[in-house]
Amino acid sequence: MSVDETVPVLIVGGGGSGLLASVVLADLGVESLLVERHPSTSRHPKAHILNARTMEVLAKHGLADEVYAAGSPPERSSAMVWLTSLGGDEPFDRKVLHRVDAYGGGALRERYAAASAYRHGNLGQLWLEPLLRRHAEERTPGGVRFHHELLDLTQDEAWVTARIRDRDTGRVYTVRALYVIGADGGKTVGAALGVRMAGTPTFSEWINLHVRSDFSAFLDHDDAVVNRVSALTGDGRFEHCGVVPMGPDSWGRSSREWTLMVTRSPGEAAALDDDAVVAGVRSTLKLPADHPMEVVSISRWPVEGTVADRFRVGRVFLVGDAAHRHPPSGALGLNTGMQDAHNLAWKLAAVLAGTAGPALLRSYEAERRPVAERVVRRALYSAFNQISMTAGTGVSPVGSPAWNRAQLTALFADTEDGETRRAILGEYFATNRITTEHLGLELGYDYADSPCVLPDGSAPPPRDPLGVDHHPSARPGHRLPHAWLRLGDERVHTHHLVRPGRFLLLAGAAGQGWVEAATAAGIDAYRVGPQPPSPTPPAEPPGSTPPAHGGDWSRLRGHDDDGAVLVRPDGVIAARAHRADAREGKSQWLDRALRVATGRTEPTTPTPEEGQQR
Ligand SMILES: Cc1cc2nc3c(=O)[nH]c(=O)nc-3n(C[C@H](O)[C@H](O)[C@H](O)COP(=O)(O)OP(=O)(O)OC[C@H]3O[C@@H](n4cnc5c(N)ncnc54)[C@H](O)[C@@H]3O)c2cc1C
């Protein structure tokens, strides 16, 4: 087959995962070609909550400030509120069933700020993707092609060969790439390679309406990132609808655009045309008949809970929805996809630059698949947990309309019984922190079992089975714990010191030798001592690097003053020396740790792909 173009990395799919991969690769000096079959980025708002880990990644590539500026201010996206309706005049209409601080907002702020320098962002994909696209295009002019579709691909031991159609002209051309990132949402690449999605197949369909409307008169609060309406209909059943402010220039109750979300069984959804969907949503929200609401678009999304049985086939890697798909509860889909892309990009860049061995690429699936499995399980628990919460109202799917109306009336009555019912309902709703407060899930995953992490024999930190509490740890394989450091006159945080594509060594106060060994190996390095007792730090011996100071870091690092941690370019601890070892010099330890972290140790049993590449 004749080849029209050759590129180191071909990215298939211009959603959040693919576009971020393009940006990160460009920042690491890797040329890539991204093809996206649609003429534009997403036409639907879709996912919007960006967690602290994603914001850390975006900050590393100079995107966080723009995302924060385009999205909602934190005080407009800090709670989740459950309501009985927007309109209506029954005794139980327009009531707040429950309100909770969510996604690092309100009373959660301090706990989240202790875990990361970056707060959650809130910006729908409709607005996020053009921002990512602009950055990708600026970094790789001509290398981001919308309305170009992957038709098929083949691979041998040296190359992947892809046929691509320019959908504007109809021209089909052939691209040869060393590696392919399948970021296509699972539409083409995985299936073409025989990858199977295992788990819970499609069990419901989400129907999202993107609307323009003024709902400010129906809402008394201004801080909800998500409102959820559970309305009792005329025939005494609960109908549910998410009401999500989407800005884009004013937020909270004065948002001009909204996503309204309903779920149906796949069979029911198929029987509903768009007019029926709109009428159903208006009725659930109990909107007055004359209340203006412009429907911009309606999207339908089959929801499953599945993980690909392989994240890699030869030279092709799957990221994002191509590798894992699950309900939106907990806002984990886009976040996990973008974090996949970040995990993979530095590895591809290092292998292409020759600073890492091909075995490093083996760690992508070893590290990201367990994360995806946990995320999918969590999203399913969260989705099904919604059922128990509304059951706590006493309204039953098998109750008579009269019974159900009586339950909801009693719930809001100003009586001792009403007070008790509301307290019990609060207990049900509190279980939803597994959806809105899961800091441990977002930041607490680890790659301790990765082949490219050097274990130090330490025990794992405690794990909160609910994923709510986060126990930061500098154990190899864990995310570099966040801590503020003083570097000369500057206050910086630990993740700030990690530069794209570069390893970082943080040594204890007595670690000048570590700094010298790391600097000789071309690694960024700092000594970090405890917070100095006085504004004037003690004089340092001549020729030594002045240490950074960080009280929290000294508590979190888990090594002695003459120990060190080696941090990967993606902000994950690769190795930790508890103290300087007299038998193995610092340079030797560092060399060994770097060999493991970059896949340059001989794998004991190479995979077929790696066998082919060497
Ligand atoms: C309709 C819909 C609504 C959603 N709503 C929500 C929501 O409300 N909340 C939430 O949390 N999550 C939602 N999600 C999920 C969330 O949007 C995804 O988790 C996220 O988009 C994953 O990003 P991605 O880049 O991995 O994949 P995608 O965003 O799916 O991007 C994949 C891209 O690949 C392109 N592509 C596919 N095949 C080819 C090919 N052969 N050649 C070139 N390009 C190709 C597609 O056109 C697409 O643009 C929704 C998803 C969908 C599909």
Q: Is residue 107 part of a domain?
A: no
CATH of residue 207's domain is: 3.30.9
Average pLDDT on 486-513 reads: 92
- Say what the pLDDT of residue 611 is: 33
At residue 431, the pLDDT reads 93
Question: Ligand 1 within 6 A of 337 CB?
Answer: yes
Residue range 280-336, pLDDT digits in tens: 999 999 999 999 999 999 999 999 999 999 999 999 999 999 999 999 999 999 999
Residues 6+ apart with CB under 8 A from 177: 6, 7, 8, 9, 10, 33, 159, 160, 162, 315
pTM, rounded to two decimals: 0.95
Query: In this structure, is residue 482 part of a structural domain?
Result: yes
603 has pLDDT over 70: no
Residues spanned by the domain of 555: 444-613
Per-residue model confidence as pLDDT tens digits over 452-469: 999 999 999 999 999 999
Query: Is the pLDDT reported for residue 548 higher than 70?
Result: no
> Could you give the C-alpha distances from 325 to 60, 333, 404, 455, in angstroms and in order?
26, 7, 35, 31
Domain end call among 434, 461, 496: 434
Q: Do 230 and 297 share a domain, yes or no? A: yes
What confidence category does residue 613 fall into, taking pLDDT thresholds of 50, 70 and 90?
Answer: very low
Q: What is the pLDDT of residue 549?
A: 67
Do both 412 and 452 map to the same domain? no
575 and 450 in one domain?
yes
| Residues 285 and 353 grouped into a single domain | no
253 in a structural domain = yes
Do residue 373 and residue 411 come from a single domain? no
Residue 90 lies in a domain: no
Question: Which percentage of the chain shows pLDDT scores above 90?
Answer: 87
Q: Hey, whose CA ends up nearest to atom 41 of ligand 1?
A: 150
Q: Does the beta carbon of 368 sit less than 6 angstroms from any atom of ligand 1?
A: no
The domain tally of the chain equals: 3
Do 532 and 480 fall within a single domain?
Answer: yes
Q: What is the mean pLDDT of the chain?
A: 93
Complete edge-to-edge strand list for the sheet that includes strand 504-507: 490-493, 484-487, 548-549, 524-529, 504-507, 564-567, 573-577
Ligand 1 centroid to Cα of residue 125, in Å, is 9
Per-residue pLDDT tens digits for 29-88: 999 999 999 999 999 999 999 999 999 999 999 999 999 999 999 999 999 999 999 999
Cβ of 37 less than 6 Å from ligand 1:
yes
Residue 46 CA, ligand 1 centroid: distance in Å: 8
Minimum-distance ligand 1 atom for the alpha carbon of 259: 8
pLDDT of residue 62: 97
Residues 292 and 328 in one domain: no
DSSP string across 533-587: SSSSPPPPPTTPPPPEE-HHHHHHS-S-TT-EEEE-TTSBEEEEESS--SSS-HH
Query: Can the peptide bond before residue 248 be classed as cis, meaning omega within 30 degrees of 0?
Result: yes
